[in-house]
């Protein structure tokens, strides 16, 4: 059974764990247009393929043919993108608060890794 280019768009979105709205915004098209692409009502053109490849590191050949791996490079972590968007909206006090907690979490994670790696 052959997977259509429209089905591959759905796979990309689900692999990135984003909504149609988020993915559409990332490639500068409307949500309704993107939904039409996934449903096969709209044609996936070179501009869409190029944007998916550039913005989300999706393998151009995979989009078009299904051959090869889905991504050229590891896909971007969309959680980081969301974090950056939220962080830029915060005032200085909350930015400092978030950074302080991230540093503490990093320290805890490092300590846990060292504990697991140290011999008994």
pLDDT, residue 120, reads: 65
**Total count of domains within the chain:** 2
- The per-residue DSSP string of 14-79 comes to HHHT--HHHHHHHTT--HHHHHHHHHTSS---HHHHHHHHHHH-B-HHHHHHS-S-SBSSPPP-HH
Domain co-membership, 86 together with 50: no
**72 assigned to some structural domain:** no
The domain in which residue 91 lies consists of 78-117
**41 assigned to some structural domain:** yes
pLDDT per residue, tens digit, the chain (120 aa), is 678 999 999 999 999 989 999 999 999 999 999 999 999 999 999 999 999 999 999 999 999 999 999 998 877 777 787 788 889 899 999 999 999 999 999 999 988 888 888 776
Domain co-membership, 10 together with 45: yes
């Amino acid at each position: 059974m052959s997977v259509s280019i429209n089905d591959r768009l759905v796979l990309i979105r689900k692999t990135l764990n984003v909504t149609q709205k988020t993915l559409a915004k990332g490639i500068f098209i409307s949500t309704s247009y993107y939904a039409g692409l996934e449903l096969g009502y709209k044609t996936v053109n070179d501009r869409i393929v190029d944007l998916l490849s550039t913005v989300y590191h999706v393998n151009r050949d995979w989009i078009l043919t299904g051959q090869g791996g889905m991504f050229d490079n590891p896909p971007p972590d969309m959680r980081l993108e969301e974090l950056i968007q939220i962080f830029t909206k915060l005032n200085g006090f909350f930015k400092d608060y978030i950074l302080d907690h991230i540093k503490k979490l990093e320290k805890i994670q490092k300590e846990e890794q060292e504990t697991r790696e140290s011999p008994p």
